[in-house]
Amino acid sequence: MDTGERAARQPSRRRDAQRNREALADAAREVFAEQGLDAALDVIARRAGVGNATLYRHFPTREDLIGEVFAGAAAMIVEAGEEALAIEDAWSAIERYFGRIFELVAANQGFNDLVTMAIPTVPVLAEMSAHNAGTVGTLVARAQEQGTMRGDVVSMDLLFLLGPLCRAVPAAAALRPDLWRRYLALQLDGFRSRAEHPLPVPPVGTERLDQAFADLWEA
């Protein structure tokens, strides 16, 4: 094959490579949504119609693939946070923000995994987690200033309690798709100022909670 023939084939190879990458991302999006982030990668490769070698050539690690697939979802969470922060009534903002997160969680097992684990090796997801923590912290402070949230609550309390509720969403959805709305409302209601009773122990720090979520991913 001469130089001219090789040059002529390069655009075709690039197009093939791009098609394979897109097919892998689409397949991963489907499989992660169905089975969660620990789904077997060879299942993704088969659904995309490519071999394992092609998968690893485009996405050397599981984290690389997760970052590709969920960048859009991470952006949606950031956008939901910005929309919530623009709402004057802090309690309404909290309900709207967590309601949006739970809508995504109920529709996608992979996203469910994302919001209940920390994956520090995926930059876009680390940024999402940081933005989420900042949004919740601001909303908690505002709600307390407005007198609608009990004064001894910290943002980590919401994040810690709502994480396990996310994990229960699939079981609730099996009974009724929107059943999570009932339990989210019950959970949030415990943070209202009118429910205030002294809490028996102090909260954990942000660093310890972040590490606990990171340990879930490493397990």
pLDDT digits (tens, 9 = 90+) for 85-143: 999 999 999 999 999 999 988 888 888 888 877 677 888 888 888 899 999 999 999 99
pLDDT at 176: 85
How is 89-139 classified by DSSP, letter by letter? SHHHHHHHHHHHHHHHHHH-HHHHHHHTS--TTSHHHHHHHHHHHHHHHHH
* Residues paired with residue 192 on neighbouring β-strands, in sequence order: 149
The amino acid that residue 86 corresponds to is: A
Distance CA(81)–CA(72), nearest Å, equals 14
pLDDT at 216: 52
pLDDT at 5: 53
pLDDT digits (tens, 9 = 90+) for 57-86: 999 999 999 999 999 888 999 999 999 999
Q: Which domains does the chain have, with CATH numbers?
A: 1-60 (1.10.10), 67-218 (1.10.357)
pLDDT at 2: 52
CA dihedral for 133, 134, 135, 136, sign (positive or negative)? positive
Residues 6+ apart with CB under 8 A from 105: 111, 112, 115, 166, 169, 180
pLDDT digits (tens, 9 = 90+) for 29-63: 999 999 999 999 999 999 999 999 999 999 999 99
Average pLDDT in the 15-20 region? Answer: 91
Residues 6+ apart with CB under 8 A from 137: 155
pLDDT at 169: 86
- What stretches of 36-89 show up as alpha helix (H) in DSSP? 41-48, 52-58, 62-85
Average pLDDT in the 202-210 region? Answer: 62
Distance CA(119)–CA(122), nearest Å, equals 6
pLDDT at 166: 86
pLDDT at 164: 85
Distance CA(130)–CA(141), nearest Å, equals 17
